Amino acid sequence: MQVSMDGKVVAITGASRGIGAASARVFADAGARVVLLARSGDEIAALARDIGRGALAIECDVGDEASVSVAMAQIVDTCGGLNVLIGNAGVIDPIGRICDVAPEDWSRAVDINLKGVFYGMRAAIPLMRGRGGTIITVSSGAAHNPLEGWSAYCASKAGAAMLTRAAHLEEGSSGLRIMGMSPGTVATDMQVRIKASGINPVSQLDPSVHIPADWPARLMLWMCGKGGDDWLGQEVSLRDEAVRRAVGLVA
């Protein structure tokens, strides 16, 4: 069943490509006014123009607390509020064994994948508290299973998954709907980078097994409706065939 987002404001981090860009289109098609947040200002501006329907592009570095706060203030000034925050921004780099990666690169992954989720939640929760709203963190199987060469990604995604559970524990009683979404392997630029690395079994997967980026986008739209009510404080996995059927991705 299609979820209507008429009159809703949906902010999406990492919106310039992949799951973020697909989500912007899916939510806009459902009636939402989408706000595209990413460091690549030109790319999201072009995407916002293509989407239309009042789509707004705001250049934002999720790894910088001040940048996130300024972006949230601009959303309120321009759109009047916020109904949904999708914490999608994430990086796979650095790929390499723990002793071989640069500490500054490892730290930057944590800034984006973990602290970026925290900064977004910290800015969005006061806007939603007592008025309802949904926050979805894009998670990963790597949050729960270690993979060679992915120490920064696994550790930061694991932290974001626990942060999402903590946010639900703290704010569920104030009417917020907070969940995680684990998409599996998706046909995005990240998979190209993983393939090129040649490290761990994920890099050996045939590209044909990766799902299209609009599948996780459609799942997150479903999560914003009644379908997500059974998953509050939990993580929905797109690997689950029952979930795929509920969303209408497979027969």
Provide the 10 A C-beta neighbour count for residue 228.
Answer: 21
Q: In what helix (H) or strand (E) does residue 118 lie, and over which residues does it extend?
A: helix 116-128
Angstrom distances, CA of residue 221 to CA of 21, 136, 145, 171 = 14, 10, 26, 21
What's the rounded Cα separation, in Å, for the pair 35 and 247?
Answer: 24
CA-closest candidate to residue 176, choices 166, 168, 184: 168
Query: Would you give the DSSP letter of residue 142?
Result: G
H-helix or E-strand containing 11?
A: strand 9-13
Q: Quick check: helix, strand or coil at residue 192?
A: helix
User: 153 an active-site residue?
Assistant: yes
Q: Any residues with CB less than 8 A from the CB of 52 and at least 6 apart, and which?
A: 28
Which of 152, 185, 168 is closest to 223 using CA atoms?
168
Handedness of CA 244, 150, 17, 57 (dihedral sign): positive
Catalytic member of 106, 118, 119, 153: 153
Cα end-to-end span (Å), the chain = 13
Active site residues: 153
